[in-house]
Chain A
Amino acid sequence: MEARTFLKTAAILGFALCALGLNPANAQTQGENPVRGGFLNVNIQTEPVTLNSAINTTMYIGEVSSKILDGLVSFDADLNPVPALATRWEVTPDGRTISFELRKGVKWHDGRDFTAADVEFTLKEVWQKLHPFGRSAFGNVTKVDIPDPHKIVLHLSAPAPYLLNYINTYGAQILPRHLYEGTDVVNNPYNAKPVGTGPFVFKEWVKGSHIRLERNPDYWQEGLPYLDGIVIRFIPDPAARVVALQSGEVDVAVGSALPPTSVGQFENNPNYAINVIDGNYLATIAYLQFNVRNKPLSDKRVRQAIAHAIDKAALLKVVYLGYGKVATGPVPSSVTKYYAPDTRQYPLDLERAARLLDEAGYKADASGKRFKLRQLTGAGQVQNTRTAEFVKQALAKIGIEVELQIPDYATFLRDAFTEWDYDMMNSSMHRMPDPTLGVQRIFWTQNIRKGVPWTNNSGYSNPKLDAIMEQAAREPDEAKRKEEIREWQQIVQEDVPILELVEPLWYTVSSARFKKRALQGDGLFSSYADAWLEPKK
């Protein structure tokens, strides 16, 4: 690795660690002297249902399929693109043509050649038609040219400045055309036994137990991968995962698979390492949302009062045990290009909150009570239910009585997105590296769509904001686009249809023997081609 990138990575890590108060020696998973051989045992939180990330963007699928199938690029620790199947790419100044040079000599695991036709097929038949956010990301692509088998040119109806942020193996996974063309992609049997171009070849999937991958001897990066293979093990009980890591049955637990209360015992222990940048690409935010159709939440002052009553720093400490950052707005701070901190903030101020509620006409009665609200969240993620409890206690202090409703996940989705039957809800959401795709959808009037999860279900509608977001989506001038997205953040922070609470960190806890040459901002979806296990001491 170049010294410069190393320093940069070290600086980022150092920053993340200071925020956590971690011992830096404990967090370094980067190594210098790779060792060959051995099987790596990886634990992820939940067993995936398929292994095709091009049609289903559930995290757990990507955590496995990224080892088998490639994207055009991957992302480094700063979320800058690193060549994968694309070696070079170019955007014309008007933003309407994007061309990719593809890597030569790449073979699918079944021996067929990888060419531009595979990319074209996946783009047209899978990303544009079936991928959950690919339909927006690649929506402007109207024509595809293949001047030679290793070059592909996309012609766009309007600039799509966000597109380049979605071409890794998680955002736009490339499938083999010869196995998918003319089939029902969603039910193709290769979704469960993928054939890719990645460093590891799929071997077996024993449902409820594990998935085994073995080294691809013909991988396009000479000499890689270092490992002989990877076994992804499914351990449903969080406490049992902790023991499996301690007993050495598992080497790496990715994607915050361990309960936060257990991570402490791996800190400051030379036998373990903790990485907190693997999930930066997802840019996750935990938030509290208001149903602005319902009184009294339709009044901006009431929402602002609630914002002033919640101590986010305390929430971060109590619920997330410090694994995260206080959120300041709809664009997470890890999206450094567009993040604007100079927006209206709501520090803890109970008096101001009370004043705002008084002004709005909701005076406290003799017993100090003002009104009652229902709060909805899904059971299953312990941080979500604890956050709901935290909010209930915080709002009691300003005379708002909160009734918690915590059904199972499917019922939560129904109540929140189909019935719109809630006053407040809290959850967490991946905001992704570009606001146009990740953030616009929760504020945009056109995206108020009954029955569809993760749309604008607060009911918030602001024509002025709509215009700004639509302009930012097609703005080819980067500086102007930044300015538009800044204004967008300011408007949202003033109106607070959604109160952003915490930016949780995704932590990967591993044995200190687990090393990688380079850290990645999309490390959850790393191919592990450059990973190895140091011998036991």
Chain B
Amino acid sequence: MTGSQAAVVFRFLRRRVWQVAPVVFGIAMLNFLILQLAPGDVVDVLAGEAGAATPEYMARLRVHFGLDKPVWVQLAYYLKNTLMLDLGFSFRQNMPVLTLIMERLPATLLLMTTAMGVAVAAGLALGVLSARFVHRAVDRVISVFVLITYALPTFWLGLMAIVLFSARLGWLPSSGMTDIGVKLDGFAYLRDVARHIVLPALTLATFYLAVYAKLVRAAMLEYFGADFIRTARAKGATETRITLFHALRNALLPLMTLLGLQLGSILSGAVLVESVFSWPGLGRLAFESILARDFNLLLGILLFSSVMVTLLNICVDAVYALLDPRIEL
């Protein structure tokens, strides 16, 4: 990257980051209003689970939680707190929302980046191979494989993987992020986490992998017929060089677009896999907070993830420019 290019990227980022604020604020307000539509509140659930309650006790809880105030007052409080970057308190979990999110965030990020990394790498490799040997045996085998992984429900695949690799073969642990019984340090700890992440990450990767492979294959095939490829061939470039340097670089653009969109599903996509593998991530926390009507927590997670998604999308936009000089920031 040249100096002037860096300046352009910097100016772009500065402009876009300012745009994040109103977007996130709008999302926060929408989140709050939509959640008002759900019947029942956290006090109902607390009393329902406890198995008994009195009206006085429930009324006291509602006052304590601020649920007795009119909706617009609650909204004003919420927006004020959001502006001051205060995510509030989860009355159900008895903990500040930020603490709860920070406890779970590393696990989610680790699982998602690993799974996405595997999916992108494998998807690219399969897509390129498919396109390079189109309509030959390799292409057919890959197509069938991709179709199967795309069609299999991830939770089922996860369960089958546990049955095979944990219960039958005993190679890998079936649940959690670390071995609970022992305290490990340094390298041993990393090894332990790595053993635990294999099954959930691969399971989660299969679905995305299929999409990426198909996309790369289609894009590459399109470029194989393009003028600049013909020119490259005429200049005497080898097929490998054409595939990797000419076609692939262009095929990366649609892949980036899709990746940017799917980063939004970082949280939602992992709920099933997190449940099956007892992975202590954010997706499950969000899911449980919906069922429990723990809206402070849910709003916190939603806000947090909307910030993350907007920021990641800005990064994706910047990466476009790096991949394709024709795109202006």
| Cβ-defined contact, B281 with A208, below 8 A | yes
Residues A209 and B177 in contact in the complex (CB < 8 Å), given A247-B170, A409-B291: yes
Contacting A at CB under 8 A, from B41-72, are 41, 44-55, 57-58, 64
| Cβ-defined contact, B280 with A206, below 8 A | yes
A64 CB to nearest B CB, Å: 15
Residues A243 and B58 in contact in the complex (CB < 8 Å), given A208-B284, A208-B285, A236-B275: no
Select from chain B the residue with minimum beta-carbon distance to A129. Answer: B57
Residues of B within 8 A of A23 (CB): none
Partner of B51, one of A133, A239, A411: A133
Q: Does B40 contact A (CB under 8 A)?
A: yes
Residues of A within 8 A of B40 (CB): 410-411, 413-414, 418
| Cβ-defined contact, B53 with A453, below 8 A | yes
Interface stretch of the complex, out of A227-235, A329-337, A360-368, A491-499: A227-235
Residues of A within 8 A of B285 (CB): 208
| Cβ-defined contact, B46 with A410, below 8 A | no
B60 CB to nearest A CB, Å: 9
Bound Cα distance A130, B50 (Å): 11
Residues of A within 8 A of B54 (CB): 135, 449, 452
| Cβ-defined contact, A235 with B44, below 8 A | no
Bound Cα distance A247, B170 (Å): 7
Residues of A within 8 A of B290 (CB): 408
| Cβ-defined contact, A249 with B280, below 8 A | no
Bound Cα distance A46, B263 (Å): 29
Bound Cα distance A208, B106 (Å): 13
Partner of B94, one of A49, A135, A449, A451: A49
B104, B176, B292: residue with the most chain A Cβ atoms closer than 10 Å: B176
Contacting A at CB under 8 A, from B163-204, are 163, 166-167, 170, 173-177, 180-181
| Cβ-defined contact, A243 with B167, below 8 A | yes
Contact with A along B86-117 (1 / 0, CB 8 A): 00000011110000100110010000000000
| Cβ-defined contact, B48 with A454, below 8 A | yes
Partner of A243, one of B155, B174, B177: B174
Contact with B along A91-133 (1 / 0, CB 8 A): 0000000000000000000000000000000000000001011
| Cβ-defined contact, B276 with A58, below 8 A | no
Contact with A along B72-96 (1 / 0, CB 8 A): 0000000000000000000011110
| Cβ-defined contact, B278 with A247, below 8 A | no
Residues A430 and B51 in contact in the complex (CB < 8 Å), given A187-B94, A209-B280, A410-B291: yes
Residues of B within 8 A of A208 (CB): 103-104, 107, 278, 280-281, 284-285
Bound Cα distance A115, B54 (Å): 30
Partner of B181, one of A231, A411, A417: A231
Bound Cα distance A233, B175 (Å): 10
Contact with A along B256-282 (1 / 0, CB 8 A): 000000000000000000111110110
Interface residues in A, total, Cβ within 8 A = 53
Q: Does A244 contact B (CB under 8 A)?
A: yes
Bound Cα distance A186, B48 (Å): 17
Q: Does B38 contact A (CB under 8 A)?
A: yes
| Cβ-defined contact, B58 with A409, below 8 A | no
Select from chain B the residue with minimum beta-carbon distance to A249. Answer: B174
Bound Cα distance A212, B57 (Å): 32
B297 CB to nearest A CB, Å: 11
Contact with B along A229-268 (1 / 0, CB 8 A): 0010111110110011011010000000000000000000
A187, A206, A417, A453: residue with the most chain B Cβ atoms closer than 10 Å: A453
B100 CB to nearest A CB, Å: 7
| Cβ-defined contact, A413 with B44, below 8 A | yes
Q: Does B22 contact A (CB under 8 A)?
A: no
Q: Does B162 contact A (CB under 8 A)?
A: yes
| Cβ-defined contact, A240 with B44, below 8 A | no
| Cβ-defined contact, B159 with A239, below 8 A | yes
Bound Cα distance A236, B275 (Å): 5
Partner of A133, one of B52, B92, B176: B52
| Cβ-defined contact, B162 with A240, below 8 A | yes
Q: Does A39 contact B (CB under 8 A)?
A: yes
| Cβ-defined contact, B94 with A249, below 8 A | no
| Cβ-defined contact, B39 with A415, below 8 A | yes
Contacting A at CB under 8 A, from B111-140, are none
Bound Cα distance A212, B276 (Å): 21
B40, B54, B181, B284: residue with the most chain A Cβ atoms closer than 10 Å: B40
Q: Does B293 contact A (CB under 8 A)?
A: yes
| Cβ-defined contact, A451 with B292, below 8 A | no
| Cβ-defined contact, B175 with A240, below 8 A | yes
Bound Cα distance A244, B174 (Å): 7
| Cβ-defined contact, A451 with B103, below 8 A | no
Select from chain B the residue with minimum beta-carbon distance to A47. Answer: B288
Q: Does A56 contact B (CB under 8 A)?
A: yes
| Cβ-defined contact, A413 with B45, below 8 A | yes
| Cβ-defined contact, B159 with A192, below 8 A | no
Residues of A within 8 A of B41 (CB): 410
Contact with B along A169-200 (1 / 0, CB 8 A): 00000000000000000110001100000000
B68 CB to nearest A CB, Å: 13
Residues A236 and B278 in contact in the complex (CB < 8 Å), given A231-B180, A243-B167, A411-B40: yes
Residues A451 and B58 in contact in the complex (CB < 8 Å), given A49-B93, A207-B104, A240-B175: yes
Select from chain A the residue with minimum beta-carbon distance to B89. Answer: A187
Contact with B along A209-236 (1 / 0, CB 8 A): 1101000000000000000000101111
| Cβ-defined contact, B39 with A410, below 8 A | yes
Residues of B within 8 A of A206 (CB): 103, 280
Q: What residues of chain A have their CB less than 8 Å away from a CB belonging to chain B?
A: 39, 41, 49-50, 56-58, 130, 132-133, 135, 186-187, 191-192, 206-210, 212, 231, 233-237, 239-240, 243-244, 246-247, 249, 380, 407-411, 413-415, 417-418, 429-430, 441, 449, 451-454
Excluding A209-B278, A237-B159, 18 further A-B contacts by CB distance (< 8 Å) are A41-B180, A49-B93, A58-B50, A58-B51, A132-B53, A135-B54, A209-B176, A231-B181, A240-B162, A240-B175, A240-B277, A240-B278, A408-B290, A410-B291, A411-B40, A417-B48, A452-B47, A452-B53
Q: What residues of chain B have their CB less than 8 Å away from a CB belonging to chain A?
A: 38-41, 44-55, 57-58, 64, 92-95, 100, 103-104, 107, 155, 159, 162-163, 166-167, 170, 173-177, 180-181, 274-278, 280-281, 284-285, 290-293
28 examples of A-B residue contacts, CB within 8 angstroms: A49-B92, A49-B94, A58-B50, A130-B57, A132-B50, A133-B51, A187-B94, A192-B95, A207-B103, A208-B278, A209-B278, A233-B180, A243-B159, A244-B174, A246-B167, A408-B291, A409-B45, A409-B291, A410-B38, A410-B48, A410-B291, A413-B45, A418-B40, A430-B51, A452-B53, A453-B52, A453-B53, A454-B51
